[in-house]
A and B are shown apart, each in its own frame.
Chain A
């Protein structure tokens, strides 16, 4: 092991990386899962939330149902909120004053909980407080049923419903200043909503555990009582988004460690086979002197076991530290109030065993092969490896036989040790897979974000109006300085039903010739709004079990409006699963109460000051909320920062793994040919010529692995990303051609770098010593 120090370290390092990644990912997943579950119990996060319908009766029935621990009725309303000059569509959630609700409790992080003596006091949700720098005593204006009302902040709170501040499943990533939540006393909430009673019931099961049967029973009851929306905990927007992250850690705990440990096994196998081959005469001598097969096996197994243990133990320790750090970083970034980190002896033990198993298994095969060789044969000199035939390339392409001898030697060197060359090729495939899975995530995210915010959403801003939009407002809007184009539209929460299934989403209405939205058809290409039917996000097909041509019932909760429409096509949209319809039929269906629409889409003239436009447009009469597409894009890119950092680390790991594997292969190659190399140096061949031959051989083997590596890498990347897809996010792999090229170049560069130590050794080769050893 001392003599093979560098190779031993390379193998131990690869095992270390694999085990560390496993421990970090799996324990981060465990920690986050525990943190969320504790939060759900601590704050009695609803298992089921019902909106609309006969809530009092539903609440009675739910309380009586076995397995239900608590039911809380409340009022929730989406209202225009004004903070300073900022106006946006926010949310007010009703809580009992003076005591926490029975379900969906809040954590008061500063200030105090709502008191009956503070009728205008509100708690501001933490993300909104951070976005607007709100402090205790600041005021926020809510534009409710009775007009604007100034509210005073008495506390900052966090809630499991808004750990991730999503407005809805379709609006997972609102810009920080485009959405915010206030918790008001139930009475204040009803006043703002203009409601006579609660419009939501939050139901919490005993122990907080999920109960599919109970959920099904209560959902049926709620639907039967006219509920507009029945949301399970799994579908709750914030929870749904966060569970995707938890799932990603779990997936990472399998995929990446598997890649690393397989690479380590390959490297160990290459090294062990070389050692066994080089030491055959010694093995033969020991066996001839009476050493048993078991002793020979144990000798060579020791190398693999020690490398595996070293990498496994250190990797398990590093995994513990990394898991804690990853969990802390994640929960801090998202302001999750409860962070549970624990050291799992089982995870650590599993990591150590993975490392041990990898090293031992990889060493076992060559070790058993060594023990099986008869002593006499082992001590006899054997025919050199890879001898006696032309290369496959020369047999397939006879003109190659006319190349200079050095080139023929290089080409034949590739196939001289097929097992080692295959290991190197597999290593290249593994490294490229890791690189492309990581880089594929970056490309996909960047392309899909660009597609969503440039191709699909073409507006610069969305304006929400109080009441229906009329022609005068549209004229005023179009004449506003800085506005290049403006269109009226519709944005309505709807419930879709078909074949006994339902789905909550938003209906978006545009003029048929709209320039504010691009409709990207399934499979690429563009399409346009049909005359009378619907277009829908492709996930709707599986959610409702519908296809093109089927009829869907569309109802708007709270309005009583309902209609049937034909599904005319599916759309490829990265974010959300919306339905789209032409404005004409929607207007005809809704009547005068809708006017021209309830939202206006605006495109700015080039070069305008976006902040000035925000102020100007928000100040227009009738505008109650403003959404800036650019701010939204900035938010998305900010959230992606942590993600890019993580992917960057994965890329480095991939490069390290490729280096370790290629280094081992090259070392084995050069060690096997030390005498040849010494002979060629003795014959007067320059080091430069030799290094070119060695490099060419190395590059050829690496290059052979690149094409299958790219193919496998793209496919694994596709499968990996698809596992994160949902109706909220569509993660179809989008990979740039330049990424494939750069990945291939990166592997070649790593290959060249990994041979430097070996070439240095060739340059310093003591020809006399090598020849002397051989003679001895």
Chain B
């Protein structure tokens, strides 16, 4: 499914800055980022370590507040939200997939997804989410009984359980081998194109950018490149 370029952007950043510390020890992680992401886009944010890509992801996801600027996601101005507001925002508008899965080890795959789905009053969607990520027959397994790829797929199902406007992934394949990584990326691509899910992935792995609809490049806290990928590669053909 092609991104709907004619519709309103689902993510808008204007003059966004993030500074840690003060004075001589201040670290300017983001130095005035301007960005719009359209619905259903599959975007990869590429950059070396320290470029500010994870910080940008965290700001979009409402995990930490910006120092300056405006961030609007799914119609919500994140910069105007207090802590309670950001919590609600994370519950209703975004979904996170982390590098190391971060599943609750004492809960089964199904329970991990239900835990988040319950927040949106949709616990009954959990089995469907797991079916969708190909783990229908592994629902009652605990994380320790799942492979890395399976755990990451559970994490994806969990991230989708709340019906988010945007799915945010921070190095989602960083802890996976090539084959498993391809499968997870393939799943994310499928969700984006078949379900119309807006996906923003952060990675330092340039190879992954080849499957994206759009590639943003970051360096020193700024977006220095914004390219459309006219012929995205299928995930199973990626090599790194």
Q: Which residue of A lies closest to B89 (CB)?
A: A684
Interface of A is mostly: helix
Say whether B114 faces chain A, with CB atoms less than 8 Å apart.
yes
Q: How large is the interface on A (under 10, 10 to 19, 20 to 34, 35 or more residues)?
A: 35 or more
Contact B90 A384 (CB under 8 A): no
Nearest CB of chain A from residue B62's CB, rounded to whole Å: 9
Nearest CB of chain A from residue B153's CB, rounded to whole Å: 16
Say whether A560 faces chain B, with CB atoms less than 8 Å apart.
no
Within 8 A of B (CB), among A728-776: 766-768, 771-772, 774-775
Say whether A566 faces chain B, with CB atoms less than 8 Å apart.
no
Within 8 A of B (CB), among A132-182: none
Say whether B221 faces chain A, with CB atoms less than 8 Å apart.
no
Contact A384 B143 (CB under 8 A): yes
Within 8 A of A (CB), among B172-218: 174
Say whether B220 faces chain A, with CB atoms less than 8 Å apart.
no
A416–B105 CA distance with the chains assembled, in angstroms? 9
Say whether A682 faces chain B, with CB atoms less than 8 Å apart.
yes
Q: Which of A405, A416, A681, A687 contacts B111 (CB 8 A)?
A: A405
Q: How large is the interface on B (under 10, 10 to 19, 20 to 34, 35 or more residues)?
A: 35 or more
Contact A686 B87 (CB under 8 A): yes
Say whether A683 faces chain B, with CB atoms less than 8 Å apart.
yes
A405–B119 CA distance with the chains assembled, in angstroms? 11
Within 8 A of A (CB), among B120-172: 123, 142-145, 158-159, 162, 170-171
A584–B112 CA distance with the chains assembled, in angstroms? 85
CB-defined contacts of A258 to chain B, threshold 8 Å:
none
A387–B142 CA distance with the chains assembled, in angstroms? 7
Say whether B91 faces chain A, with CB atoms less than 8 Å apart.
yes
Digitize A559-593: 1 where CB-to-B-CB distance is under 8 Å, 0 elsewhere: 00000000000000000000000000000000000
Say whether B11 faces chain A, with CB atoms less than 8 Å apart.
no
Q: Which of B64, B87, B104 contacts A766 (CB 8 A)?
A: B64
Known A-B contacts A681-B87, A682-B61, A684-B87; the reply to A387 vs B105 at CB < 8 A is yes
Known A-B contacts A683-B91, A684-B91; the reply to A405 vs B114 at CB < 8 A is yes
A572–B118 CA distance with the chains assembled, in angstroms? 63
Nearest CB of chain B from residue A686's CB, rounded to whole Å: 6
Contact A682 B96 (CB under 8 A): yes
Say whether A215 faces chain B, with CB atoms less than 8 Å apart.
no
Contact A775 B106 (CB under 8 A): no
Within 8 A of B (CB), among A394-424: 404-406, 408-409, 412-413, 416
Residue in B58, B105, B171 with the greatest tally of chain A CB atoms within 10 Å: B105
Contact A675 B88 (CB under 8 A): no
CB-defined contacts of A687 to chain B, threshold 8 Å:
87
Q: Which residue of A lies closest to B100 (CB)?
A: A774
Nearest CB of chain A from residue B44's CB, rounded to whole Å: 17
A775–B96 CA distance with the chains assembled, in angstroms? 14
A680–B98 CA distance with the chains assembled, in angstroms? 12
Q: Which residue of B lies closest to A416 (CB)?
A: B106
CB-defined contacts of A684 to chain B, threshold 8 Å:
87-92, 116, 119, 162
Within 8 A of B (CB), among A644-686: 675-676, 678-686
Within 8 A of A (CB), among B69-109: 84, 87-92, 95-96, 98-100, 102, 104-107
CB-defined contacts of A381 to chain B, threshold 8 Å:
100
A383–B101 CA distance with the chains assembled, in angstroms? 13
A676–B98 CA distance with the chains assembled, in angstroms? 12
Q: Which of A409, A682, A768, A775 contacts B100 (CB 8 A)?
A: A775
Q: Which of A387, A675, A676, A775 contacts B174 (CB 8 A)?
A: A775
CB-defined contacts of A404 to chain B, threshold 8 Å:
118
Contact B144 A775 (CB under 8 A): no
Say whether B35 faces chain A, with CB atoms less than 8 Å apart.
no
Contact B111 A676 (CB under 8 A): no
Known A-B contacts A412-B107, A774-B100, A775-B54; the reply to A683 vs B90 at CB < 8 A is yes
Q: Which of A384, A406, A408 contacts B105 (CB 8 A)?
A: A384
Q: Which residue of A lies closest to B93 (CB)?
A: A684
Residue in A416, A771, A772 with the greatest tally of chain B CB atoms within 10 Å: A771
Q: Which of A386, A685, A767 contacts B119 (CB 8 A)?
A: A685
Within 8 A of A (CB), among B24-46: none
Q: Which of B84, B100, B144 contacts A387 (CB 8 A)?
A: B144
CB-defined contacts of B171 to chain A, threshold 8 Å:
775
Say whether A389 faces chain B, with CB atoms less than 8 Å apart.
yes
Say whether B63 faces chain A, with CB atoms less than 8 Å apart.
yes
Digitize A355-387: 1 where CB-to-B-CB distance is under 8 Å, 0 elsewhere: 000000000000000000000000001011111
Q: Which residue of B lies closest to A769 (CB)?
A: B64
Contact A384 B144 (CB under 8 A): yes
A771–B61 CA distance with the chains assembled, in angstroms? 13
Say whether A606 faces chain B, with CB atoms less than 8 Å apart.
no
Say whether B115 faces chain A, with CB atoms less than 8 Å apart.
yes
Digitize A318-347: 1 where CB-to-B-CB distance is under 8 Å, 0 elsewhere: 000000000000000000000000000000
A367–B14 CA distance with the chains assembled, in angstroms? 52
A683–B160 CA distance with the chains assembled, in angstroms? 10
Say whether A388 faces chain B, with CB atoms less than 8 Å apart.
yes
CB-defined contacts of A774 to chain B, threshold 8 Å:
98-100, 102
Q: Which residue of A lies closest to B99 (CB)?
A: A775
A413–B111 CA distance with the chains assembled, in angstroms? 14
Contact B98 A409 (CB under 8 A): no
A325–B124 CA distance with the chains assembled, in angstroms? 68
Contact A409 B170 (CB under 8 A): no
A766–B58 CA distance with the chains assembled, in angstroms? 11
CB-defined contacts of B90 to chain A, threshold 8 Å:
681-684
Q: Which residue of B lies closest to A683 (CB)?
A: B116
Contact A387 B106 (CB under 8 A): yes
Nearest CB of chain A from residue B224's CB, rounded to whole Å: 22
Contact A405 B170 (CB under 8 A): no
Q: Which of B61, B63, B88, B115 contacts A405 (CB 8 A)?
A: B115
Q: Which residue of B lies closest to A766 (CB)?
A: B64
CB-defined contacts of B143 to chain A, threshold 8 Å:
384, 387
Residue in B61, B63, B98, B107 with the greatest tally of chain A CB atoms within 10 Å: B63
Contact A388 B144 (CB under 8 A): yes
Nearest CB of chain B from residue A408's CB, rounded to whole Å: 7
Contact B58 A768 (CB under 8 A): yes
Nearest CB of chain B from residue A120's CB, rounded to whole Å: 89
A686–B116 CA distance with the chains assembled, in angstroms? 11
Residue in A405, A675, A771 with the greatest tally of chain B CB atoms within 10 Å: A405
A683–B112 CA distance with the chains assembled, in angstroms? 11
Known A-B contacts A386-B105, A771-B170; the reply to A683 vs B158 at CB < 8 A is yes
Q: Which of A408, A680, A685, A768 contacts B63 (CB 8 A)?
A: A768
Residue in B114, B144, B170 with the greatest tally of chain A CB atoms within 10 Å: B144
Nearest CB of chain A from residue B154's CB, rounded to whole Å: 12
Residue in B99, B102, B111, B171 with the greatest tally of chain A CB atoms within 10 Å: B102
CB-defined contacts of A772 to chain B, threshold 8 Å:
54
Nearest CB of chain B from residue A510's CB, rounded to whole Å: 69
A431–B14 CA distance with the chains assembled, in angstroms? 58
A676–B155 CA distance with the chains assembled, in angstroms? 12
Nearest CB of chain A from residue B70's CB, rounded to whole Å: 19
Q: Which of A385, A386, A388, A775 contacts B98 (CB 8 A)?
A: A775
Can you list 24 A-B contacts with CB-CB less than 8 angstroms, sorted by A residue number? Answer: A384-B143, A385-B105, A386-B106, A387-B142, A387-B143, A406-B118, A408-B111, A412-B106, A413-B106, A679-B96, A679-B102, A679-B104, A682-B61, A682-B63, A683-B116, A684-B87, A684-B90, A684-B92, A684-B119, A685-B87, A685-B115, A685-B119, A771-B102, A775-B99
New A-B pairs, 12, CB < 8 Å, besides A386-B105, A387-B105, A683-B158: A389-B142, A405-B123, A416-B105, A416-B106, A679-B96, A679-B98, A683-B119, A684-B88, A685-B91, A767-B58, A771-B170, A775-B54
A-B CB proximity, top 8 nearest: A684-B91, A384-B105, A387-B144, A387-B105, A412-B106, A684-B90, A679-B102, A388-B144
Residues of A with Cβ closer than 8 Å to B?
381, 383-389, 404-406, 408-409, 412-413, 416, 675-676, 678-687, 766-768, 771-772, 774-775
Residues of B with Cβ closer than 8 Å to A?
54-55, 58, 61, 63-64, 84, 87-92, 95-96, 98-100, 102, 104-107, 111, 114-116, 118-119, 123, 142-145, 158-159, 162, 170-171, 174
